Amino acid sequence: MLLNKTIGFIGGGAMAEALIRGILKSGMIEASQLIVNDISSERLRYLTNLFSVETTSDSQELAKKADVLFLTVKPQVMNHVVDQITPVVSKSTIIVSVAAGVTLSTLQNKMPGVPVVRVMPNTAVAVGEGMSAIALGKYATSSIGEMVSSVFASVGKVVTVGEDLMDAVTGLSGSGPGYVYVLIDALTDAGVRVGFSRQTALLLSAQTLLGAAKMVLETGEHPAKLRDMVTSPGGTSITGIHVLEQKGVRAALIDAVVAATERSKEMGRK
């Protein structure tokens, strides 16, 4: 699908690095197909040494060459980047934006007729276990959506949603790693409290969450059913779950996602 295409990245930060690592590891493209642009020459040298990719300091030059152009920059600089490349972007170039809060309409108003795809990945793409949601712009066909999905599938799981749900994606999976880190940290403290070293407690906590998540994904069972499988009558698990319900942990997580979703909407309106 990406054979013989030139793939460009404007912005060579952590997200670009994770995506480049994933797509090269998957074998869907060769390093010779990649060109990366960044304002930092040090960062460009690092990526060249790491992946043997071509780099450039000229975003317009890259925009002219790229068949697929990933905009992996911070939201606050997106308008500046798009203004720079708009005069040279071809209508056959596929634009993939990963900037939170930057809408498809914002991009398409600046680049009319150009196929644009908006993606909200989370930070776990860095370890190949990310969760990404994609939304297709007006000129992005289903085949373009499949191509973009294949790229992000190389670093985790992918779903396609309407853009109206992108703020909810941000609130749930985009911000979700932060919630999970709080849980891991709290479980680690609990492990220390009951006698483990912090290192052992952290391993027990993190691996337990990883294993539980994998059980949900690989069995396809509802988490409530899996929970019931480990809650023996009068046992330790149901005793602990009872305390979690008393303390409102379930409601707090729901409230956190709703609040983060609303904050994403507010940021998008600015």
Indicate whether 156 and 258 sit together in one domain.
Answer: no
The residue among 166, 197, 216 that closes a domain is: 166
Cα 45 off chain centre by: 25
Whether residue 13 is annotated as binding a ligand: the answer is yes
Indicate whether 126 and 195 sit together in one domain.
Answer: no
Res. 266: pLDDT tops 90: no
Indicate whether 208 and 130 sit together in one domain.
Answer: no
Whether residue 12 is annotated as binding a ligand: the answer is yes
Whether residue 15 is annotated as binding a ligand: the answer is yes
Task: Dump pLDDT digits (tens) for 61-110.
Answer: 999 999 999 999 998 899 999 999 999 999 999 999 998 888 999 999 99
* Residue-range definition of the domain harbouring residue 183: 174-269
The model's pTM is 0.90
Indicate whether 162 and 180 sit together in one domain.
Answer: no
156 belongs to a structural domain: yes
The residue among 126, 143, 166 that closes a domain is: 166
Task: Dump pLDDT digits (tens) for 212-249.
Answer: 999 999 999 999 999 999 999 999 999 999 999 999 99
Whether residue 130 is annotated as binding a ligand: the answer is no
pLDDT of residue 63: 96
Whether residue 238 is annotated as binding a ligand: the answer is no
Indicate whether 12 and 118 sit together in one domain.
Answer: yes
Number of domains the chain contains: 2
The residue among 147, 166, 185 that closes a domain is: 166
pLDDT of residue 268: 75
Whether residue 174 is annotated as binding a ligand: the answer is no
pLDDT of residue 75: 86
Indicate whether 42 and 153 sit together in one domain.
Answer: yes
Indicate whether 132 and 56 sit together in one domain.
Answer: yes
**Of the candidates 10, 28, 41, the residue with the CA atom closest to the CA atom of residue 153:** 28
* Cα–Cα dist 261/133, whole Å: 15
Query: Got the DSSP string for 13-35?
Result: SHHHHHHHHHHHHHTSS-GGGEE
